[in-house]
């Protein structure tokens, strides 16, 4: 076999090997808002994708809300919980933007969700620890700039639009 034929065969082999290599895994974190109503939370994240290191498929969502909605929310801290929403609630909500994260960032994100889940009760405060504060901290974990002095902590959609404005790479 001539050197030229071997070079062509070798090139074809490399090309075929590249085509059969597994696709790079990725995890996408989507930030959502839901207009006010009787269902909660009004700000939350949806996580979908595959963890690169393990191949684990991810399809989850997390928001933070009071465990019981009552006038007590207006008076101070009440019991809070990290909650997942049903697909119909997500479908009726507004996706504001997406961020693709690596495995290490995904692990930090899940640690932050766990931190909120495990907080000492009462953990929900309309003015200091609500669903918008929760997604603000998750936005920081994925590397986004946020305004910690925002006046929009009771306006989920407006807050996420503000975050988008602070991060032009989000488009």
Does residue 113 have a pLDDT over 70? yes
Does residue 64 have a pLDDT over 70? yes
Per-residue pLDDT averaged across 123-152, rounded? 97
Against a cut of 0.95, is the pTM above it?
Answer: no
Give the model's pLDDT for residue 23: 52
Kindly indicate the confidence band of residue 39, based on its pLDDT and cuts at 50, 70 and 90.
confident
Structure-model confidence comparison of residues 137 and 35, the more confident one: 137
Give the model's pLDDT for residue 60: 98
| pLDDT tens digits for range 84-108 | 999 999 999 999 999 999 999 999 9
Does residue 148 have a pLDDT over 90? yes
- The closest alpha carbon to 74, from 149, 154, 144, 167, belongs to 154
* Boundaries of every domain in the chain: 18-164
Kindly indicate the confidence band of residue 69, based on its pLDDT and cuts at 50, 70 and 90.
confident
Quick one: residue 34, left, alpha or beta (phi over 0 = left, psi -120 to 50 = alpha)?
Answer: beta
Kindly indicate the confidence band of residue 25, based on its pLDDT and cuts at 50, 70 and 90.
confident
Give the model's pLDDT for residue 80: 97
Exposed, middle or buried: residue 91 (CB in 10 Å: 0-12, 13-18, 19+)? exposed
């Amino acid at each position: 076999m001539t050197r030229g034929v071997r070079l062509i065969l070798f090139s074809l082999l490399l090309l075929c090997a590249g085509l059969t290599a597994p696709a790079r895994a990725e995890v996408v974190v989507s930030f959502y808002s839901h207009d006010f109503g009787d269902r909660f939370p009004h700000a939350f994240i949806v996580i979908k994708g595959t963890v690169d290191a393990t191949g684990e498929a991810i399809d989850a969502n997390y928001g933070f809300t009071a465990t019981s909605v009552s006038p007590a929310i207006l008076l101070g801290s009440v019991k809070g919980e990290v909650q997942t929403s049903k697909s119909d609630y997500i479908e009726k909500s507004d996706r504001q933007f997406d961020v693709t994260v690596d495995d290490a960032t995904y692990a930090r994100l899940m640690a932050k969700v766990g931190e909120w889940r495990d907080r000492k009760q009462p953990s929900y405060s309309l003015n200091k620890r609500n669903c918008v504060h929760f997604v603000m901290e998750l936005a920081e974990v994925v590397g986004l700039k946020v305004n910690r002095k925002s006046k929009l902590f009771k306006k989920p959609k407006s807050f996420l639009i503000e975050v988008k404005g602070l991060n032009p790479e989000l488009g």
